[in-house]
Amino acid sequence: MKTITLHNGARAFSARLYGPERAPMVVCLHGFPDNADSFRYQVQDFVDAGYQVLTPTMRGYEPSSITQNEDYTLRAMAQDVNAWLDELKQPQVHLVGHDWGAVVAYMVAALIPDRLLSVTTIAVPHPRRFLERGVARVPVQALKSWYMLFNQIPLVSDHIVRRNDFAFIRHLWRTWSPGQTLTDEEWRGLRNTFGQPGVIRATLSYYRQNVSPGQMLRLKPSSADAIQHIRVPNLAITGENDGCIDTRVFDHTVLGDDHPAGFRIERVADAGHFTHQEKPQVLNPVMIDWFRQHERTPG
């Protein structure tokens, strides 16, 4: 493993790179409230299967990627990924994303599909269809999405997230993945991430700029509107016990017409929102098999 710094304009992103240099690359994008250690249970299995693995820190999760231009739109973060691939001289990669990382992965697949061999999205269905159909088809999702509206409130939500040693973040993990218990070391890593200057404001901006109430009610355009056809093979993973995004939403939002390159839904029993951390022994072979099915064609 080596630690590297990636760039997009004035923003600098820390990342870890694992595995042999000339191997096909898997890029893993974390979500909220998480950090670049999100895929700690995948890295070694992916490397052992013959892949190089990149785990970058997403925009806003460290001071070096926070600039005066507070742009946390999906298009901007897809451009981060494109810039990283250019910097690493990677023509095509397998892209894996969880939570907001999954949303960004969908945007990359929609805007620059030629950079991807495959896309694996964990816990989040097709973002545009989620806004259009998710709550309408699965009404309980409105209750599960309460935090999206709460995170819109400037200053108030920032304060609540920070209060009482980040008890709000602990609450989200317990609610979203009831069967998971974070170790003391894992919790320290999360506290260190969100305790950095500017990180809470930046990470809550993901919600404020991409899923505002007007966007969720379809009264205003959303950056997710640019996501329709996913012209990359898509493995969509959902945990049956996800307390954040109801697994039944996938049945109404992952539609064949949106996936001309093919898709698969993998529903994982006894797992919640952080499915990849709860059930790596189940998911890692599934993901590796997916990568192998969609390797670069020689020549």
- What was the pLDDT predicted at 185? 96
10 phi/psi in degrees, rounded to 5: -80, -10
The pLDDT value given to residue 224: 84
The pLDDT of residue 211 is above 90: no
CB of 237 closer than 8 Å to CB of 266: yes
Q: What pLDDT, on a 0 to 100 scale, did the predictor assign at position 223?
A: 80
CB 261 within 8 A of CB 206: no
The span from the CA of 297 to the CA of 155, in Å, is 50
Interval 134-138 mean pLDDT: 91
Residue 222: band (very low, low, confident or very high) from pLDDT cuts 50, 70, 90: confident
Averaged pLDDT of the chain:
94
Q: In what order do the strands lie in the sheet with 25-29?
A: 2-8, 11-18, 52-56, 25-29, 93-98, 116-122, 234-239, 263-268
Q: Which two tokens stand for residue 62?
A: 């460290």
Structural contact between residues 134 and 142, judged by C-beta atoms closer than 8 angstroms: no
Mean pLDDT, residues 31-51? 98
Residue 137 is predicted with a pLDDT of 94
Give 4: exposed, middle or buried? Use CB within 10 Å, 0-12, 13-18, 19+: middle
User: With 0-12 CB in 10 A as exposed, 13-18 as middle and 19+ as buried, what is 148?
Assistant: middle
Query: What is the value of pTM for the model shown?
Result: 0.96
φ, ψ for residue 218 (rounded to 5)?
65, 25
Six-digit token string for 296: 């670069």
| pLDDT exceeds cutoff 70 at 218 | no
SS3 content of the chain, % helix, strand, coil (to 5): 50, 15, 35
Query: Does 299 score more than 50 pLDDT?
Result: no
pLDDT at 9 over 60: yes
Instruction: Summarize pLDDT for 247-288 with one digit per residue, the tens.
Output: 999 999 999 999 999 999 999 999 999 999 999 999 999 999
Instruction: Please tell me the total number of residues recorded for the chain in this structure.
Output: 299
Task: Report residue 217's pLDDT band, with 50, 70 and 90 as the boundaries.
Answer: low
Helix (H, G, I), strand (E, B) or coil at 100: helix
Instruction: Please list, in sequence order, all residues whose beta carbon lies within 8 angstroms of the beta carbon of residue 163, skipping any fewer than 6 positions away.
Output: none
pLDDT at 76 over 60: yes
- 3-state class of 208 per DSSP? helix
DSSP β-bridge partners for residue 56: 15
Instruction: Tell me the C-alpha distance between 203 and 214, whole Å.
Output: 19
What is the rounded distance in angstroms from the CA atom of residue 211 to the CA atom of residue 218?
10
pLDDT in tens, 114-134: 999 999 999 999 999 998 898
pLDDT surpasses 80 at 297: no
Share of residues in the chain with pLDDT > 90 (%): 88
**Which of 36, 34, 32, 45 is CA-nearest to residue 3?**
36
CB 169 within 8 A of CB 161: yes
**DSSP state string for 60-93:** TSSGGG--SS----HHHHHHHHHHHHHHTT-S-E
Query: CA-to-CA distance for 12 and 73, rounded, in angstroms?
Result: 17
Cβ burial 90-100 (10 Å sphere, 16+ → b, else e):
eebbbbbbbbb
Q: How far apart are CA 217 and CA 244, in angstroms?
A: 19
